Amino acid sequence: METIVIIGNGIAGVSAARHIRKLSDKRIIIVSAETDYFFSRTALMYVYMGHMKFEHIQPYENWFWEKNRIELVRGYVDHVDVANKKLLIDGSRALPYDNLVVATGSKPNKFGWPGQDLHGVQGLYSKQDLDLLEVNAPNKEVCKRAVIVGGGLIGIELAEMLRSRDIPVTFLVREKNFWNGVLPEGESKMINEHILEHHIDLRLATNLKEIVSDENGKVKSIIIAETGEELPCDMVGLTAGVTPNIDFLKDSGIELGRGVKVNRFLETSAKDVYAIGDCAEQHVAIGYRRPIEPVWYTGRMMCETLAQTLCGNRIEYKPGHWFNSAKFLDIEYQTYGWVFSERGRKDYEAQFHWRHPKEKICVTISFHNDTQQFLGINTFGIRMRHEVFDRWLTENRDMDYVIEHLIDANFDPEFYKHHEAAIVAQYNAEFNKQVKSRKKSLKRIFVSS
């Protein structure tokens, strides 16, 4: 019987196993050193915050794996021998394969800061990181102040987690506004305000120089690069992005870049070896997407594509229109299509930005300056329907159409406030238009409820 070995039990690896099982009777083995069973990585924060227990973020019962004939091996892969098609696990066990899927995800970036390996310094990615956080920052008595380095999504999650236990937090962000390499300026500035309102000491345009040790090899402070200021702290969270977790492949002969190099069929340079998820790097980026996409849903999409290939239907990975979602403290964020930041904006791109005068709610819509074609939308505090924007992007709708029909994309419940009339009014005034604001029909209310 053909054996498929999957390294990694994150969303990409586990979803690949599930889809392969739906399509075939092949032998499937998942190897992971992190945990016995799959868990939802994006929900780790809710365990620390007390909203859930760890077992609540495991989507499948423990009997699921045996019932579906998916074998689980707990161990660390030291080496991949592509010539003999086998793995070396924990320096002693050999595991042969017919097809190998590398789905090892990411690990937190470290940039050679002095003191980055001290006790009390950690990332937030794995179950082990969650356990370590309970040691480093169980409460405000043990952790009188935490410093977070890096202004991305994991950083703001960690800040929210620590503040849920009343631990003071200083947040070092090297950009002039939070996440302004991704978000347009109006959105970045709104998130700056929101972070400060949650009693987080946000330091913009600020870099870490050094993490200082006490006499026992534990964090006692950090030094800020720009000013030389020393900030006392008991814990440092390194959240300056992630990098593919591929060190074990460096002497395998498999072509590597920042990640495992793959073609559009997710095939590596080695025969019968594939890579999916955060660790996979496209030789040539797909459209405006990055060659490496550490995003939950792209891991799932890759696994569905690869399962077809491994089961005899070789197909190309086509992720479709870009979309993503996140949460900035209590503000929900969605993006569909392309809305670039100031430094990434294209010559042809125009943007329309509306912000609520009092609440932390805003919308930014990107469109082609000449053709008026709709290119993308960001929403904060308003939930929108993915399938609607996906369709409008495919249909190449123009900006007037999107503004007029924006109410049709709204996913908020019936009795939530709706802001489309104000958005349309500002659009008309700003661009000298006469677009009419559609009303929310009873038919739409019935269908969406």
Whole domain around residue 146: which residue ranges? 121-240
Q: Are residues 137 and 86 in the same domain?
A: no
Range name among 74-83, 226-235, 253-262, 403-412 with the lowest pLDDT average: 403-412
User: What pLDDT was estimated at residue 23?
Assistant: 98
348 domain residue, yes or no: yes
Q: Are residues 37 and 93 in the same domain?
A: yes
Residue 153 in contact with residue 324, Cβ under 8 Å? no
Take residue 212 and report the two structure tokens written for it.
């200082």
pLDDT tens digit sequence for 240-281: 989 999 999 999 999 999 999 999 999 999 999 999 999 999
145 domain residue, yes or no: yes
Structure-model confidence comparison of residues 151 and 417, the more confident one: 151
Q: How many CB atoms lie within 10 A of CB 84?
A: 7
pLDDT confidence bin for 447, thresholds 50/70/90: very low
176 domain residue, yes or no: yes
Average pLDDT (279-289) is 96
61 φ, ψ (degrees, to nearest 5): -65, 155
116 domain residue, yes or no: no
pLDDT tens digit sequence for 346-360: 999 999 999 999 999
Q: Are residues 186 and 303 in the same domain?
A: no
> Rounded to an integer, what distance in angstroms lies between the CA atom of residue 370 and that of residue 388?
24
pLDDT tens digit sequence for 189-223: 999 999 999 999 999 999 999 999 999 999 999 99
User: What pLDDT was estimated at residue 437?
Assistant: 74
255 domain residue, yes or no: yes
pLDDT tens digit sequence for 57-68: 999 999 999 999
Percentage of the chain beyond pLDDT 70 is 96
User: What pLDDT was estimated at residue 296?
Assistant: 86
- Is the pLDDT reported for residue 133 higher than 70? yes
Domain count, the chain: 3
> Rounded to an integer, what distance in angstroms lies between the CA atom of residue 32 and that of residue 9?
6
Cα 330 to Cα 92, 326, 334, 436: the distances in Å are 48, 10, 13, 32
User: What pLDDT was estimated at residue 444?
Assistant: 44
pLDDT tens digit sequence for 301-320: 999 999 999 999 999 999 99
Q: What CATH number has the domain bearing residue 408? A: 3.30.390.30
Q: What is the pTM of this model?
A: 0.92
* Chain mean pLDDT for the chain: 94
pLDDT tens digit sequence for 5-38: 999 999 999 999 999 999 999 999 999 999 899 9
> Rounded to an integer, what distance in angstroms lies between the CA atom of residue 37 and that of residue 429?
55
